Chains A and B, each alone.
Chain A
Amino acid sequence: MNGSKTLLTSYVSQPGEIKTSSGKTLRTDEMIINMGPQHPSTHGVLRLEIVVDGEIIVDVIPHIGYLHRCFEKHAEHMTNYQQVIPYADRMDYVAAMNMEQGYAVAMERMLKIEVPERVEYIRVIMAELQRIASHLVAVGTFGIDAGAFTPFLYAFHDRERILDLFEMTCGARLLYNYIWVGGLSHDLPPQFIDKAKEFCKYYRPRIKEFNDLLTYNEIFVKRTANVGVLPKDVAINYACSGPMLRASGVNWDLRRDDPYSVYDRFEWEPQVGKGEMGTVGDTWDRHIVRMREIEQSVNIIEQALAGIPEGNVQAAIPKRIRPERGEIYARTEAPRGEIGYYIVSDGSTTPFRVKARSPAFVNLSVLPEISRGAMLADLVLIAAGVDIVLGEVDR
């Protein structure tokens, strides 16, 4: 982002000269269009400064920070480490469980806590349910951006059932404060396992239905295939992660490649884009990778539900968290990619520094690269394919 000085001067036209906020002078036939911050297709408060030549995009400059809530600074001013968790929730509010899990994993590595097996299993179940819920929001809104409204309602209907499961467990439907350092706030209610199994059974055919309705729809394919192609090397150079990276054909999933929790006990496959409808790494690939990941998550949940051991979920929660001086970086796989927490402790009861590496922020940085040369109408789809959550981009 540029400073306010350039922002103020950017649109002042000297005779014969108009500059973008990145300092580039416009040619006569180019034009700046502002999309957002109050635009439904930016999925939040994101402003895109678009330089267009006719209908072809010359450049896109994302302006972020409208939803900045000082997560990192807040974390330093809590009275203990546990209190950071509700704030971590609010980073990626669509996938709050995964945000909590990342923080809990980092803190447990710092404190060298072994959490009980039951906790790990429940965390896996919750994280995967949350992944499904989050991907449902992603693919649902993606449909809306392509002009298909109905799939969105289908997606939200199913997501609602997952939220019911969460509500049953911890009482909240969006921001859970459930996964604590060393354990969980509540044990599973007795009827949870049956309800969750029921959900998996109900949900499997719905994936196919959704694919019929949206994914393989000819109109949708025409809109998304070959649009916003992100080549493998560019994806790696920009440090993309999650479905964004995998859609470009890089087989990289932290659940397998940097194992945490008990993911190594289950049978599942990371999904990569294959370019079935166009080029590897196009917007359609990003969509299908999310759809296939949903299927894999259902697999993991079913296996975890079958093998869940008994135990006390609060046994390992430390009474007082006071890590030794030191630092830790731990990363986990959130629905949008690698969520990493870098935590520095000075030996007191509050963190000295918390830095969150948020996946959507990094993924967003590649947007200008993949939308240059595309049509203006396709930008909406390209941005939706990146699947940003502004709460996490701005933190």
Chain B
Amino acid sequence: MGSNGKIIRKKDLNIWQKAYLTEIFKGLRLTISQIFKPKFTYLYPEVRFKPQPSFRGRPVLVHENGTERCVACGLCSRVCPALAIEVQASETELEKERYPIKFEINMVRCIFCGFCEEVCPEEAIIMSNEYELVFTSQEEAIFGKERLLKSTEEMKDRLEFLRAHR
């Protein structure tokens, strides 16, 4: 067979060769020996995969005692290649002067690239270890501040990782 269009007839085999028994046994020997080796699969959803701190899951906003670190500079929104972030700034009495009155990330658009984390001057937006994102509608996929905010304690692992490796 091939580009010349000729058909090559396979050699005539006797019945023993046709059964390919030796080859099947050779393969089976290897696979059966695997049965006694440790398993490497998870019984998801009972057992879940625990990502390392380096893992880039969905982006979250960090808050310290209820105040978000974000100063609404809009850099993350500008750098986001998928145009997933919308920030609206407003003024506040606090020392940082500006805060986001509205901060939305569209999780359907987000491609988990990590540019927002990289560019943020306040370490306010970071990648969490959450990887299970299920929505039943487009609206549900737009995460507002209430769903994005996480405390520094919750995000301790990632913050430490960033400090060590940036």
Contacts and interface: CB of A to CB of B under 8 A. Distances in A.
A212 B114 CA distance: 42
For the complex of A and B, the 6 pairs showing the least CB-CB separation, nearest first, are A229-B2, A373-B5, A171-B56, A83-B81, A86-B113, A218-B23
Contacts of A378: 1
Contacts of A228: 1-2
Contact of B115 (A168, A171, A177): A177
Contact of A369 (B3, B54, B81): B3
Among the interface residues B3, B23, B30, B82, which one has the most CB atoms of the partner chain A within 10 A?
A: B3
A150 B27 contact: yes
B3 A229 contact: yes
Interface residues of B, number: 35
Contact of A185 (B24, B55, B118): B118
Among the interface residues B2, B8, B79, which one has the most CB atoms of the partner chain A within 10 A?
A: B2
Interface in B11-45: 20, 22-24, 26-27, 30-31, 40
Interface string B75-90: 0001101100000000
A51 to B, nearest CB: 13
Interface string A272-295: 000000010010000000000000
Interface string A112-150: 000000000000000000000000000000000000101
A373 B31 contact: no
Interface string A157-197: 10010000001111110010100000001110100000000
B30 A171 contact: no
B163 interface: no
Given A219-B20, A231-B3, A372-B5, A175 B112 contact: yes
B27 A234 contact: no
A171 B54 contact: yes
B48 interface: no
A177 B113 contact: yes
Contacts of A229: 1-3
A212 B1 CA distance: 26
A234 B4 CA distance: 12
A25 interface: no
A226 interface: yes
A87 B115 CA distance: 13
A217 B114 contact: no
B144 interface: no
